[in-house]
Structure 1
Amino acid sequence: MFGLFLIAATFIIPFDADASSHREAPFIANDPLADNTDLYAFRSPDDPDYITIIANYIPFQLPNGGPNYYQFGEDVRYEIHIDNDVSTPGDDIIYRFTFKRDIEDPSTFFNIRLGQENLSTTYNIRKSTDGGETFQKILQYGQVPPYNIGPRSIGGPVGLAGNTYEELVNLAIRDTWTGEKVFCGPVDDPFFVDLGGIFDLGDAPRQNGAPRDGVSCYNVNTIALKIPISNLQKDGLDVSQADGILDSDFVIGVWASASRRKIRVLTHNPDNIATKGIENTQGQWVQISRIGMPLTNEAVIPVCDKDYWNALTPYSEDPAHFNYFYNPELALYMDDDLFGPAVPALSPLRIQRNSLQGFDFGNGQDGL
């Protein structure tokens, strides 16, 4: 979870967003539909009375990955969590998204044909303002726009015909009953991050050659909310009532998660076409992915604890993990007394010794 000043300048991203969390843990790497990739929160540049929160899921989507492309999971609960009151433990506001797919033309393998879309996806939003005790439905049958398959499928007479893709996206922006604007759908992954170099033992910036954008030309599925600041402020106050930029009553924390049912049953009944190949889920919901500060689980938590970390909340952190933050692995490669030469790309970040009038910032030293 990260803090956000609602009353900052035009907009603010309250973390150094230089990497994101794609396939960051062994378990979630096998479950891309529930994989949080990025989280953004900032003052809306088009309207400073609003905060925009964007949670991305489903990494490394090939735009030409037909015929089924990529949809939000029907059996995944996607949530955006907000803490706006430091005096009370846990979340204060939760937005819960659930999705449903429909097959409009079962006679074809094409995703779009003759004005119909297969795996057409709609969603409902439920909102809690009491920490998850109760939920109110604030939007029903929101529409996820189709994948931008190509000109024949989107605008051609044998496809959807009649709308450009930009028009379809704009039609998918909806207003909730409680004042939020929302969009859910496929978008270009906005990061530039040299994943190949980073995971080649920290060859970033690359010692030989220019950096390469590891997510270039890949898509993600986004959940975007534009929320009035008065909806987020714990007493419903307008931003003009804030007592300066550090007014603690106008600070929120934001994180996002994905959960699945505990039990999954695959039905195989070749004699009954109605149940052939049907998947059923039941039981309690179990959180299997989360993100607040990008890169935390990807490059701070070691592989032995990554799945466990994804199952926790910001309010139930395991103190055993604190040492990973106090002594992060990457810091070892910034100290020439230890493993610095193993990662030459980090040489510009070498720990300074005897700087600031003799303070030693070497590994294991007291520093300041």
Structure 2
Amino acid sequence: MKFKTIHVAWTLAALVCLTAANLLHASSHREAPLIANDPLADNTDLYAFRSPDNPDMITIIANYIPAELPHGGPNYYTFGENIRYEIHIDNDASNHGDEIIYRFTFNRVNQDPTTFFNIRLGAQNRLTTYTCERSTDGGLTWMVIAENGVVPPPNIGPRSIESGVGLSTTYEDLFLQAINTASTGEKIFCGPVDDPFFVDLGGVFDLGDMPRQNGAPRDGLA
């Protein structure tokens, strides 16, 4: 299998907490024509901030896959299996190279090939797991710090998630169970989340009709 490597770079004083997410409704960063043809590899936004619950920790959120829509079934959006998602951290701008690099690779398994439904009877036909590696020498060597991390499925609906013919759980529990602790101490989450932005994309690209001349603005990301 050939891999494409996607780099996301950031400068930080320290990194303790890492979050990577793909979006159910991601930002519209589809201006670059080449990456628009490869949406699974399209990193839309990167956030880095001191964690509000612990100022000694830094949270990094890397978002991928722009402009997802809720009616994407049965083949809902997910991370690409032939893509290396990387976050590069440069703690010392005076030195060449990156002090820390995180690499994520993903794998999908069809637990129930007898149905086209994404979830049925406790099984998923697009169950996604990941491996996270870390390099501290500019990518020369790598150490696996998390294996078989679980990506929660899309929140398809109560029958698929909560009922006895689905997963018999709550989506909140699926989300919390997907938070993984790496062997080196980082907290990791990979999975679908809602986009925090409000932007009227339809108005923006309709010759800059923002605010709209007729009618209220419409959130194109939620």
CA contact (8 A) 2:28 2:67 kept: no
Give the alignment partner of residue 41 of structure 1, picking from 43, 48, 54.
48
- Which residue of the partner structure matches residue 172 of structure 1? 178
Query: Which amino acid in 1 is paired with 2:81?
Result: E
* Residue 25 (structure 1) aligned with residue 25 (structure 2): no
Q: Whose Rg is larger? A: 1
Between 168-177 and 65-74, the greater mean CA deviation after superposition: 65-74
* Residue 193 (structure 1) aligned with residue 211 (structure 2): no
Q: How does 1:250-289 map to 2 (within 5 A)?
A: none
- In 1, Cα distance between the equivalents of 2:96 and 2:212? 44
Give the alignment partner of residue 127 of structure 1, picking from 134, 137, 147.
134
- In 1, Cα distance between the equivalents of 2:141 and 2:100? 11
Give the alignment partner of residue 108 of structure 1, picking from 112, 115, 122.
115
TM-score (norm 2): 0.85
SS at match of 1:197: helix
C-alpha spacing 1:99/1:153, structure 2 compared with 1 (3 Å):
same
CA contact (8 A) 2:106 2:128 kept: yes
- In 2, Cα distance between the equivalents of 1:125 and 1:5? 21
Give the alignment partner of residue 219 of structure 2, picking from 205, 208, 213.
213
- In 1, Cα distance between the equivalents of 2:141 and 2:149? 21
Query: Which amino acid in 2 is paired with 1:158?
Result: V
Query: Which amino acid in 1 is paired with 2:176?
Result: N
Q: How many residues align?
A: 203
Identity, % of aligned positions: 71
C-alpha spacing 1:178/1:82, structure 2 compared with 1 (3 Å):
same
Give the alignment partner of residue 183 of structure 1, picking from 182, 189, 194.
189
SS at match of 1:49: strand
* Residue 118 (structure 1) aligned with residue 148 (structure 2): no
For residues 10-57 of structure 1, the C-alpha deviation after alignment (integer angstroms, 9 at most, x for no partner) is xxxxxxxxx955212111112111111111100000111100000011
SS at match of 2:54: coil
CA contact (8 A) 2:12 2:90 kept: no
Unpaired segments of 5 or more residues in structure 1?
7-18, 217-368
- Which residue of the partner structure matches residue 142 of structure 1? 149
SS at match of 2:165: coil
CA contact (8 A) 1:21 1:36 kept: no
Structure 1 residue runs of 4 or more that deviate by more than 4 Å after TM superposition: 1-6
Q: How does 1:1-368 map to 2 (within 5 A)?
A: 3=11, 22-161=29-168, 163-216=169-222
Query: Which amino acid in 1 is paired with 2:179?
Result: I
Q: Name the one with the larger strand percent.
A: 2
Query: Which amino acid in 1 is paired with 2:199?
Result: V
Q: Name the one with the larger helix percent.
A: 1
CA drift of 1:107 comes to: 0.8
CA RMSD of aligned residues (A): 1.9
For residues 133-188 of structure 1, the C-alpha deviation after alignment (integer angstroms, 9 at most, x for no partner) is 11110000000001111111111111111x21100110000000001001000111
For residues 303-354 of structure 1, the C-alpha deviation after alignment (integer angstroms, 9 at most, x for no partner) is xxxxxxxxxxxxxxxxxxxxxxxxxxxxxxxxxxxxxxxxxxxxxxxxxxxx
CA drift of 1:200 comes to: 3.1
